[in-house]
């Protein structure tokens, strides 16, 4: 069982996901890479190596949109993670490790009952007349995958527009505050000028 931060860092690196410390998970890109190894439909091409909290948050929003679209029950305290504090990211790293092991084990597990059932089925069909081969399911699988991809892209686009609107609103608020500050300064300057004039008189 991997629990310590050193073990978890080594585990990520062994998977080909380079991190120097657990706190790096708060940037989002390492988590995205791990999710893409578990779920191959994850839109990894949307991910960029971030350089600030805004870009950390953008990566995390992509993860959230994917998890929601695919009804995957994984919770990340995003606002805490992007601060890149040890404890919050350590807890998420442990959760991700457990999820990875669970998914990997679930994919590779073959029970004795499965083996026996398969052997019985093979035995029973030995003397059956050959049937025409069934059509491959690849087309339906491709359609499901395409639908999932479209839903993810739609969610990401909505999230991107929302973040852009929030950023625009923040800039407008700052400009409004700056304008008020200038007006206040001009009023104070005018008061000083009038005061000096009154002293001169």
Say if 116 falls within a structural domain. Answer: no
Q: What are the structure tokens assigned to 49, written together?
A: 């190596």
| Together in a domain, 158 and 98 | no
Say if 138 falls within a structural domain. Answer: no
Rounded to an integer, what distance in angstroms lies between the CA atom of residue 54 and that of residue 168?
13
Say if 186 falls within a structural domain. Answer: yes
Domain that residue 76 falls in = 5-106
How far, rounded to the nearest angstrom, does the alpha carbon of residue 124 sit from its chain's CA centroid?
48
Output the CA torsion 102→59→42→149 (10° steps): 140
Domain count, the chain: 2
Find out whether 97 and 105 touch, Cβ atoms under 8 Å: no
| Together in a domain, 48 and 95 | yes
Say if 112 falls within a structural domain. Answer: no
Could you read off the pLDDT of 97-156 as tens digits, one per residue?
999 999 887 554 434 444 444 443 444 444 444 444 444 444 554 556 666 667 777 777
| Together in a domain, 161 and 100 | no
CATH of the domain at 15: 1.10.418.10
Find out whether 6 and 19 touch, Cβ atoms under 8 Å: no
3-state secondary structure (DSSP) of residue 171: helix
Could you read off the pLDDT of 10-34 as tens digits, one per residue?
999 999 999 999 999 999 999 999 9
Examine the pLDDT at 76 and tell me if it is beyond 50: yes
Rounded to an integer, what distance in angstroms lies between the CA atom of residue 106 and that of residue 3?
21
Find out whether 38 and 59 touch, Cβ atoms under 8 Å: no
Examine the pLDDT at 1 and tell me if it is beyond 80: no
Q: What are the structure tokens assigned to 168, written together?
A: 């625009």
Say if 121 falls within a structural domain. Answer: no
Find out whether 82 and 164 touch, Cβ atoms under 8 Å: no
| Together in a domain, 13 and 101 | yes
């Amino acid at each position: 069982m991997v629990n310590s931060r050193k073990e978890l860092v080594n585990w990520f690196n062994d998977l080909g996901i380079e991190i120097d410390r657990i706190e790096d998970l708060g940037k989002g890109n390492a988590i995205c890479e791990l999710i893409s190894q578990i779920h191959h439909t994850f839109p990894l091409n949307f991910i960029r190596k971030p350089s600030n909290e805004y870009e950390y948050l953008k990566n995390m929003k992509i993860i959230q949109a994917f998890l929601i679209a695919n009804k995957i029950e994984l919770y990340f305290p995003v606002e805490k993670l992007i601060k890149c504090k040890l404890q919050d990211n350590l807890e998420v790293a442990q959760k991700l490790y457990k999820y990875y092991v669970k998914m990997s084990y679930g994919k590779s597990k073959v029970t004795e009952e499965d083996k026996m059932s398969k052997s019985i089925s093979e035995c029973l069909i030995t003397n059956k007349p050959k049937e025409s081969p069934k059509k491959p399911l690849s087309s339906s699988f491709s359609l499901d995958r395409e639908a999932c991809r479209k839903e993810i892209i739609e969610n990401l686009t909505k999230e991107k527009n929302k973040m852009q609107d929030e950023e625009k609103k923040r800039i407008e608020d700052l400009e409004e505050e700056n304008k008020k500050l200038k007006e206040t300064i001009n009023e104070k300057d005018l008061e000083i000028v009038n005061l000096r004039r009154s002293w001169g008189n």
